[in-house]
């Protein structure tokens, strides 16, 4: 059982945007950061845009930014969006479907999975902003939009 690359890249994109604050970041730049296909990321971004997670700005100097603060974006909502809401198994055509107790158990397990993610927000997984900015090669001058609190505070470990 694996998260699709689609979800993986969507989450990484969101982390990069969270770290970049109000700065616009281009799809090309993000794709280069992770060494993935520009075209592929484009489609993922469109999904994120349509779902209201990010804002996209066209034209020269365009790019992406979060539509809301990272602290207001639920990881559960993100994963629900990127993974779709379909069940873990497809029982259509299965002979024993009417008598099978599996779907309900799997649905319960899936709910538990998503419930954990609902308890975290984007800001929780992008909390090491100092380290992340270094990795993303963001100049420290371009501080994350809101108040710049003590960078030492960001370290969670």
Give residues in contact with DNA (CB under 7 A): 4-6, 8, 26-28, 36-40, 42-43, 45-46, 49-50, 56-64, 154-156
Window contacting a copy of itself (CB under 8 A); options: 44-52, 64-72, 91-99, 139-147: 91-99
The whole-angstrom separation of Cα 140 and Cα 131 is 11
Q: Is 140 in the site for a copy of itself (CB under 8 A)?
A: no
Asked if residue 55 binds a copy of itself (CB under 8 A), the reply is no
CA distances in angstroms from 113 to 30, 74, 149, listed in the order given: 28, 14, 33
| Rg of the chain taking only CA atoms, in angstroms | 18
Residue 27 belongs to what H/E stretch? Answer: helix 27-34
Report the alpha-carbon distance of residue 12 to residue 26 in Å, rounded: 14
Q: Which CB, 46 or 111, lies closer to DNA?
A: 46
Spatial CA neighbour of 77 closest among 121, 132, 109: 121
Residue 2 or 104: the one with the smaller Cβ distance to DNA is 2
Q: Based on CB atoms, which residue is closest to a copy of itself, 58 or 92? A: 92
64's contact among DNA, a copy of itself, none, with CB below 5 to 8 A by partner kind, is: DNA
**Residue 145 binds which of a copy of itself, DNA, none (CB < 5-8 A, kind-dependent):** none
The residue (of 86 and 141) whose beta carbon lies closer to a copy of itself is 86
CB 66 within 8 A of CB 51: no
């Amino acid at each position: 059982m694996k998260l699709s690359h689609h979800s993986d890249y969507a989450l990484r994109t969101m982390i990069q945007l969270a770290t970049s604050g109000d700065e616009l970041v281009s799809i090309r730049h993000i794709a280069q950061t992770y060494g993935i296909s520009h075209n592929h990321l484009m489609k993922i971004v469109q999904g994120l845009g349509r779902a209201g997670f990010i804002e996209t700005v066209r034209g020269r100097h365009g790019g992406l930014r979060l539509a809301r603060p990272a602290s207001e974006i639920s990881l559960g909502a993100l994963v629900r969006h990127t993974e779709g809401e379909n069940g873990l198994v497809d029982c259509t055509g299965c002979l024993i479907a009417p008598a099978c107790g599996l779907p309900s158990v799997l649905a319960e397990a899936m709910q538990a999975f998503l419930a954990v993610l609902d308890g975290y927000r984007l800001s929780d997984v992008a909390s090491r902003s100092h380290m992340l900015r270094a990795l993303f090669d963001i100049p420290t001058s371009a501080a994350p939009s809101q108040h710049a609190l003590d960078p030492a505070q960001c370290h969670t470990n």
